[in-house]
Structure 1
Amino acid sequence: MEFALDKFTLDSGNTAWMMTSSALVLLMTPGLAFFYGGMVRGKSVLNMMMMSFGAMGVVGLVWVLWGYSGAFGPDLGGGLLGNPFQWFGLNGLDDSQSLMLAAGVPSLVAVAFQATFAIITVALISGSIADRTKFSAWMIFAGIWVTVVYLPVAHWVWSGVGLLGPTGITSGLSTPIDFAGGTVVHINAGIAGLALALIIGKRRGFGKEAMRPHNLPFVMLGAALLWFGWFGFNAGSEFAADGTAGRAWMNTMVATCVAMLTWLLTERFRDGRATSLGAASGVVAGLVAITPAAAAVDTFGAIALGGVAGVLCALAVGLKYKYGYDDSLDVVGVHLVGGLTGTILIGFFATDKNSAFLPDGASLGLFYGGGVTQIATQTITALVVLVYSFVVTAIIALIIKATIGFRITDEHEVTGIDLTTHGETAYEALGARVSSEVKS
């Protein structure tokens, strides 16, 4: 059913799909809270979950005030940033300016969908600094980071006129492909997590004492919610309920299945057993890797991306022990490595066959007769985002560290951040024991 609205024609089917997709993607952040919350120790679970919920509050407000306008507003010049004051508070934004105009989806629905991406990108970073971060500092960081890192990167890649878009720095090669956020979300968040982990420092006892997940059912529940919501993340990024969305949906399913299997196989050969944590982590690795390529590869490409990501991410999560950085919940190993894997492998597997979709100006992948052009484009795009996000995140973190401080005290870390920061504990028995220890 369609209704004419001046220069805009409403497509109620596409609009209903995008509202549903927005709700699915928003659900991913509480899902992430369960995933991360289960992975930390029992004395930190509430704080870990609060970091995700806190990101929802801060980024949601920023997004409707100046965030959407900064990412998708009229370019200020050079493809660097949209005008954050053009639609401040969403004032002046009408449906003729909808990001999803061609699909017949109103502007406010487009704003809502993109808000959920910004929220979860910030929330992802929190896993790298679990157990030891001031909640107040995290909330301040979230607002600054989404403004000075996420907004420019989203504008570069997705605005259509940005630095890494069709007319950007790779225009002499081909158009970069990032269907649903390999660079904007996962590489961006993954490398930011590494910068924070390096600047804030290791948890007390890191590498010396066991820091096992306290609740693996929470981890698996979180992974399930993420997988469920991710169908809105990827299939929704078509902005329409059509065959390309169907291709993205199917690729999301199969790549994730294969990544989980290859992660478990890697564990089996390396450690002698396959684990529930590995299954949940493999699911997320597959989801991350297929995200940029969801509509640009066929079924065989999705299988290949998922298989490679499952192995590489399973191996990458151990690098923190080798190199001595405390990426608490493997944001680097899963999101940075998985994002790089999916983004670069598009250059090998991109195809316009079997219902796959390539944007105008993109090249076929190497294995489909396209040469190395798209590989070069994808690599350049990934490196630009990686360097920018790392440098600017480090600057933000150093300023916060030098002013209000980014880390809780050693005493509070040992006692438990849930009790000392929030005055709560997730489990009554644990709270009684910790309170007794504090009094003695």
Structure 2
Amino acid sequence: MDQGNTAFLLFAAALVLLMTPGLAFFYGGLVKAKSVISMMMMSFGAIGLIGVLWVLYGYAIAFASADGVGAPFGIDTAALGLNSLLEVPEDAAFPPIAFAAFQATFAIITVALVSGAIADRAKFGAWMIFAGIWATVVYFPVASWVFNFGLAEDGSFSYGGWITYGMQEAFGVGAIDFAGGTAVHINAGAAALALAIVLGKRVGFAKGAHVPHNPPFVLLGAGLLWFGWFGFNAGSELAADGTAALAFINTIAAPAAALLAWLIVEKIKDGKATSVGAASGAVAGLVAITPACASLHPIWAILLGVIAGAVCALAIDLKFKFGFDDSLDVVGIHLVGGLIGTLYLGFFANGTGLFTGGDGTQLLVQAIAAIAVLVYSFVLALVIGFAIEKTIGFRVKNEDEVAGIDSIVHGEEGYVLTEVK
């Protein structure tokens, strides 16, 4: 067993887990002061719930044995409770359970991302029910489509999900999604759009009506997300090697370029470059580079960042044009950014992109992967969301939303400015 790569993988897993508290700060700063506890609790709720479900059966679905690969509910019964992962094969590159721990953090952050679309108005209990069902029937199967390269007894990978391995057999080239452009960002963004439709608009929804209550929180959250993203992207190589180093430098270059592009668009459009814009631009670049980080020359990563930052800065206004209240721009940043990064590979992926030696096949498989995940996630999230809304109710009462859901739902306030006697 390679102890260096094992340490690298475990450290990367810890970095990715840190992203969810970082997301809590990022989202928490963007909402009203009376909703900050509710917003942050949805992220921490995801850590608790998805962490448990992953151990119980999530890994067994996402990384089912070869017979279950690509099936919506392929389950490796031996892996339930991670039982089959406790022994370490002599020639393994790292303990299989270290890989399970790494992938658990992906499941957690993906579910937490969705919550940004329903800020200020969602019941915590309803959110937790949605999170558990959506993870089970959407995220775990989609992770199998993308990430399921099965561990053989010697620690090597022997097969894969249909998005990567399956399309490679069909088209001669598989879709590239190194760290989760489809499985994480398009997946979460599509579900976020569905929930925004289910819950409807916030009271007083209009452009400029809801402003971030704490931009320093937003910057802190973006910084933690960027820091954790190095584990997300470079860690997906599962080894401390040249590919991980390429992913690492691209995780600097793309979001840096996206940050600048967002600020330029914001300055031209609104007359001011804001701190929230800088944070949002960096996250847009991180989203876009996620699937592409190991398959682009750094120059192309900068171009990707510029495109993602500029387009996402414009895309966040789509909710006003089309009338869906995606509170914290999960659609405009994660869905749009994920689509940009995934499709961009069809043009610039090293050796297979349309402009880098390929013939267009890479673009075709990238589009198939993106559309399949988007439709699957959106439809099921819409069904689950409406089912919850029509039974126990997903949204708080309008008067509770106006009063502030922190005290109504959690019995707490984010800021107690006077001493209670």
TM-score computed with the length of structure 1 as normaliser: 0.90
Tell me the residue number matched to 2:79. 87
Aligned equivalents of 2:196, 2:106: Cα separation in 1: 23
Which residue identity lines up with residue 245 of structure 1 in the other structure?
A
Report the counterpart of residue 106 of structure 2 in structure 1. 117
Q: CA deviation at 1:174?
A: 1.7
CA contact (8 A) 2:69 2:148 kept: no
The 3-state SS of whatever aligns with 1:228 is helix
**1:127 paired residue number:** 116
Residue of 347, 357, 360 corresponding to 1:369: 357
Q: Check if 1:407 corresponds to 2:399.
A: no
Partner of 1:64: 55
Matches within 5 A, 1:100-249: 104-160=93-149, 161-168=160-167, 171-207=170-206, 210-249=209-248
> Could you report, residue by residue, the CA deviation over 1:208-264 in whole angstroms, capped at 9, with x for unpaired residues?
772100000000000000000000000000000001000000001000100000000
Shift of the 275–209 alpha-carbon distance from structure 1 to 2, 3 Å rule, reads closer
* Matches of 1:37 and 1:88, distance apart in 2: 35
Residue 230 of structure 1 aligns to which amino acid in structure 2?
W
The unaligned stretches of length 5 or more in structure 1 are: 1-9, 353-363, 433-440
Please list the CA deviations of residues 134-160 of structure 1 after superposition, one character each: whole Å capped at 9, or x if unmatched. 100001111111110001101111113
2:60 is paired with a residue whose SS is helix
Residue pairs, 1:421-432, within 5 angstroms? 421-429=409-417
Residue identity opposite 2:387 in structure 1 = I
1:86 Cα offset (Å)? 2.8
In the alignment, residue 248 of structure 1 is paired with which amino acid? A
Provide the rounded CA distance (Å) in 2 between the counterparts of 1:88 and 1:411.
44
What is the rounded CA distance, in whole Å, between the counterparts of 2:85 and 2:44 in structure 1?
Answer: 28
Structure-1 residue corresponding to 2:27: 36
Question: Hey, what does 2:314 align to over in structure 1?
Answer: 315
Corresponding position of 1:276: 275
Give the whole-Å Cα distance in 1 for the aligned partners of 2:208 and 2:354.
46
Residues 275 and 253 (structure 1 numbering): CA distance in 2 closer, same or farther, change over 3 Å? same
**Large movers: runs of 4+ above 3 Å:** 75-78, 94-98, 429-432
- How far 1:297 sits from its partner (Å)? 0.6
2:419 and 2:362 mapped to 1: Cα distance?
Answer: 55
Give the Cα separation in 2 of the matches to 1:232 and 1:208: 36
Query: Partner letter of residue 24 of structure 1?
Result: L
Write the mapping of 1:18-33 to structure 2, written as runs, cut at 5 A: 18-33=9-24
Alpha-carbon offset, residue 429 of structure 1 = 3.7
In the alignment, is the contact (CA less than 8 A) between 1:419 and 1:431 conserved in 2? no
Q: Is 1:46 aligned to residue 37 of structure 2?
A: yes
RMSD: 1.8
Please give the alpha-carbon distance, in whole angstroms, between the structure 2 residues aligned to 1:79 and 1:211. 42
Alpha-carbon shift at residue 415 of structure 1 (Å): 0.8
TM-score (norm 2): 0.94
Q: 3-state DSSP class of the match of 1:44?
A: helix
Larger deviation: 401-410 or 69-78? 69-78
Aligned amino acid, residue 216 of structure 1: P
Query: Whole-Å Cα distance in 2 between the matches of residues 388 and 153 of structure 1?
Result: 9
- State the Cα deviation string for residues 26-83 of structure 1 (Å, max 9, x = none): 0000000000000000000010000000000000000000001100021454721431
Residue correspondences, number: 409
**Aligned position for 2:405:** 417
* Structure 1: distance between partners of 2:364 and 2:288: 18
DSSP 3-state at the match of 1:329 = coil
Distance 1:431 1:184 in 2: 46
Q: 1:234, 1:294 within 8 Å by CA — same for their partners in 2? A: yes
Change (3 A) 1:86 1:168: farther
Tell me which of 372, 384, 388 is aligned to 2:372. 384
Q: Deviations over 1:165-210 (max 9, x none)?
A: 2124872252110000000000000010000000111111101772
The verdict on how the C-alpha distance between 1:78 and 1:84 changes in structure 2, with shifts beyond 3 A counting, is closer
Aligned to 1:73: 64
1:130 deviation in Å?
Answer: 0.3
CA distance in 2, matches of 1:152, 1:412: 36
Report Cα offsets for 1:349-380 as digits up to 9, x if no partner.
1115xxxxxxxxxxx11111212110111011
Q: Distance in 1 between matches of 2:208 and 2:18?
A: 34
Give the partner amino acid of 2:109: I
User: Following the alignment from structure 1 to structure 2, what is the Cα–Cα distance between the partners of residues 340 and 431?
Assistant: 49
Alpha-carbon distance in structure 1 between the residues aligned to 2:45 and 2:188: 16
- 5+ residue gaps, structure 2, are 150-159
Query: For residues 24 and 45 of structure 1, what CA distance do their matches in structure 2 show?
Result: 24
| Deviating more after overlay: 69-78 vs 397-406 | 69-78
Residue pairs, 1:7-18, within 5 angstroms: 10-18=1-9
Partner of 2:154: none
